Structure 1
Amino acid sequence: MKRAELEIEILAWIAQTSWRPDPARFERLALSLFEFQYGACEHYAHLCRSLKRIPATVSRSDEIPPVPTGAFKEFDLRCFAERETVLTFRTSGTTTDHRGRLHLDTLALYEASLLASLRKNYLSDLTGRRATMRFLAPPPEEVPDSSLTHMFETLRRAEGSNQSRFDLREGRLDVEALGAAIDRARRDDLPLVVAGTSFAFVHFLDAVEAGGGGEGWQLPRDSRVMETGGFKGRSREIPRETLRAMIAHRFGLAETRVVNQYGMTELGSQFYDSTLVDPDGPRRKLAPPWTRVRFVDPDSGDDVEEGEVGMIVIHDLANTGSIAAIQTADLGRAILDARGRRIGFDVLGREMGAEARGCSVATDIMLEASGDGSVE
């Protein structure tokens, strides 16, 4: 199946508002996408051949070789000509850091996927209401290669009011502008959508505390907050449960109104906490049906028992122009209901050294197989 045909089918799936699992559909599309990516990305093909997992011998999606996220720092893993690149996202870090890269030749599938998940799990009842949104993140003109900022900007354009703004500019969090937006929302009795990075929320909480705290930060009813990303040395680190409780307290919200997003630059889809759409159920990450999340033994690569802790591997059909199967450096486990059926998953944190090990193995295989001592 050609890539264009695959994308038409995947876009049609994403457009469906019901998120009923369709394992047969996923398997068919995943295997077809694997065949395309194997033929279009030579670095990936080297890895697959070395592992003796090629389209002719792979019959299930869980046999498709995943690429460690660290390999995106070493190779340009694209399935199209370099000249066709329209946007490149880079993992966080300074300009001198060796950063991972996701190259895109189209934004259609990428933006369709991110909006579908946001509307389903974060906006939910606010979809189409043009709520005011405030982002504790730098604007697109400052970080054009940030996938997170691009996501916020895409959301702002699609669903935000004309008063939606980015409140982190030139390295400074504009607490006063955020406070004014909250005052206006309270005065108009309209919900406010606040989203940002974990380290930006820590800076916000510290700034408010230094200013004497107070009750002026309480958000109107139906408001919500989303935090994402780690700290990466840019603020003091706070356990996620503690940070969630602190954010909820400062904004006068129930903790169910504060959700975490799990995503990464190398993926085209994201995963959100369930508490806005299922406030009475256990907090867990919800996976779009065009993705599949596995938990594997980091040494053997085999799936662990359902509910046991393993390395997270994500198969994302929205990643047509790159590599769909990604091995993360994170540990997680499936969340099961009373009947033992998976209803979501939890992210438990990083396994120390996992990315470096996975990247080293993948890089060595790709270089050895290609007979080339250089990387792009």
Structure 2
Amino acid sequence: MTAALPPALQQAVERLLAFLAQDGCTDAEFDALACQLFELQYTHDEPYRRFCQRRGMTPRRVTGWRDIPPVPISAFKDATLSCVPPADCERVFMTSGTTRGDVKGRNHHPTIAVWDRSMQQHFARRFMHGAARLPMLLLFPDERELPNSSLARYLSLAARTWGGEGSRSYVDARGLDVDGVCRALEAAVARGQAVALLGASYSFVHLLDALQAQGREFVLPPGSRILDTGGYKRQAREVPLDVFYDDLVRGFGVPRERCINMYGMTELSSQFYDDGNARVPSVKSGPHWVRTRVLDPLTGRDMPPRERGVLAHCDLANFNSATAILTEDVGIAVERGFLLLGRAEGAEAKGCSLAVQEFLEAARA
């Protein structure tokens, strides 16, 4: 059982839950809550406070979300970023550890209620599109198998909230149950019932390879949809985006407009979606409680529109660790969102590394 939240944190949770339930917000409302949460983190999150002090940013100097120093994403591997002791947290999500071996980033959640509300509010609008329930075939382990995986929580929560009869995971310690997926798809086709396939991008690659080897293809009923996320992470062969989505159309008969990509990460508490992948790269955008900047990682300055830089997100739902995160993903700002172009390389990667070094020097001072 988790400990009761300190009064300041409990008040922040209540404000956040109400804010997430709003139908949008003004820039002034976003800035006001961002500043309140920054003061909370500055006060109770010691490694982050030291980093902000090194940047010369205090609650008195932060007047809006753009003033909040973004934490380099790798800092979650090297420091405990939390306003409460980790032992008092209801859930701790861990990264896969693919970039630095067994070193895993950790994001601590004193209560999972905010994370869940963030996921549910945005998922309903961007993926369900008014549908009440759909049979959901999950190409990823259930959260009971991976309790520290934010993606496992995300998919299991989707199935519990919106999944129709027969919704379940088709991946366990033995691997992907290709035959089970095929039987479920065959039943959906026979009934003329729309179905949703959701999972890691690399799981779709494995499933498509298995279907091709068996000479099998499906034409799923109208209203069926697909959600992929996470890229390949060295667990499948690399597939160009256009080829990948063409293969989904060929394998399942779902139009590219109904093939949604979700962009998320353990170090955040919210997700980004596109509106289908008729064209790639597709425009990604978040909910009203998230703002995104495209930065030069060496200077920290915003890049002009249509110029590439490193993505930095301010996610108010990430109230306990750090609302502002500097990723290692490259993108460009466009109307209504951003284009995700891949991982930082060259000068961009060097800038990210210097940001991490600066954080560690401050945190250990």
**1:207-356 mapped onto 2 (5 Å cutoff):** 207-213=210-216, 215=217, 217-275=218-276, 283-336=282-335, 343-352=336-345
Select which of 4, 11, 14 maps to 1:8: 14
Displacement, 1:359?
5.1
**1:176-187 mapped onto 2 (5 Å cutoff):** 176-187=179-190
Q: Which residue of 2 aligns with 1:197?
A: 200
Displacement, 1:357?
5.4
Number of positions where the alignment pairs a residue of Structure 1 with one of Structure 2 = 357
**1:145-184 mapped onto 2 (5 Å cutoff):** 145-184=148-187
Amino acid at match of 2:317: A
Q: Which residue of 1 aligns with 2:352?
A: 358
CA distance in 1, matches of 2:250, 2:174: 25
Q: Aligned in 2, Cα 1:254/1:365: closer, same or farther, shift over 3 Å? A: closer
Q: Which residue of 1 aligns with 2:146?
A: 143
CA distance in 1, matches of 2:96, 2:351: 20
Question: Which deviations, in whole Å up to 9, do the C-alpha atoms of 1:128-184 show, x marking residues without a partner?
Answer: x22110011112222111100110111111111241011111141111111111111
Q: Which runs of 5+ in 1 are unaligned?
A: 337-342, 372-376
Q: Is the 8 A contact 1:71 1:359 kept in 2?
A: no
CA distance in 2, matches of 1:133, 1:310: 36
Q: Which residue of 2 aligns with 1:114?
A: 119
Q: Which moved more, 1:361-370 or 1:168-177?
A: 361-370
Residue aligned with 1:233, SS: coil
Select which of 130, 133, 137 maps to 1:130: 133
Residue aligned with 1:327, SS: strand
Amino acid at match of 1:320: F
Amino acid at match of 2:16: I
Residue aligned with 2:74, SS: helix
Displacement, 1:125?
2.4
Q: Is the 8 A contact 1:131 1:159 kept in 2?
A: yes
Q: Is the 8 A contact 1:196 1:226 kept in 2?
A: yes
Structure 1 consecutive aligned stretches of length 4 or more whose deviation exceeds 4 Å: 353-357
Q: Aligned in 2, Cα 1:355/1:5: closer, same or farther, shift over 3 Å? A: farther
Q: Which moved more, 1:139-148 or 1:201-210?
A: 139-148
2:96 equivalent to 1:92: yes
Q: Which residue of 2 aligns with 1:72?
A: 76
CA distance in 2, matches of 1:154, 1:311: 30
Relative to the length of structure 2, the TM-score reads: 0.92
Q: Which residue of 2 aligns with 1:36?
A: 40
Q: Which residue of 1 aligns with 2:4?
A: none
Q: Aligned in 2, Cα 1:190/1:356: closer, same or farther, shift over 3 Å? A: farther
Residue aligned with 2:115, SS: helix
Q: Aligned in 2, Cα 1:4/1:358: closer, same or farther, shift over 3 Å? A: same
CA distance in 2, matches of 1:285, 1:178: 29
Amino acid at match of 1:152: L
Q: Is the 8 A contact 1:314 1:326 kept in 2?
A: yes
Displacement, 1:321?
1.2
CA distance in 1, matches of 2:266, 2:32: 25
Residue aligned with 2:341, SS: strand
Displacement, 1:329?
0.3
CA distance in 1, matches of 2:325, 2:62: 17
Q: Aligned in 2, Cα 1:183/1:136: closer, same or farther, shift over 3 Å? A: same
Displacement, 1:355?
6.2
Displacement, 1:14?
1.7
Q: Is the 8 A contact 1:69 1:359 kept in 2?
A: no
Q: Which moved more, 1:183-192 or 1:67-76?
A: 183-192
Amino acid at match of 2:63: S
Amino acid at match of 1:63: D
Amino acid at match of 2:340: V
Cα RMSD, aligned residues only: 2.3
Q: Aligned in 2, Cα 1:46/1:359: closer, same or farther, shift over 3 Å? A: farther
Q: Is the 8 A contact 1:10 1:290 kept in 2?
A: no
CA distance in 1, matches of 2:304, 2:102: 37
Amino acid at match of 1:204: L
Amino acid at match of 1:5: Q
Displacement, 1:28?
0.4
Displacement, 1:323?
0.7
Displacement, 1:360?
5.5
2:98 equivalent to 1:104: no
Q: Which residue of 1 aligns with 2:3?
A: none
Q: Which residue of 1 aligns with 2:54?
A: 50
Residue aligned with 1:125, SS: coil
Q: Aligned in 2, Cα 1:362/1:90: closer, same or farther, shift over 3 Å? A: same
Q: Which residue of 2 aligns with 1:26?
A: 30
Q: Is the 8 A contact 1:132 1:160 kept in 2?
A: yes
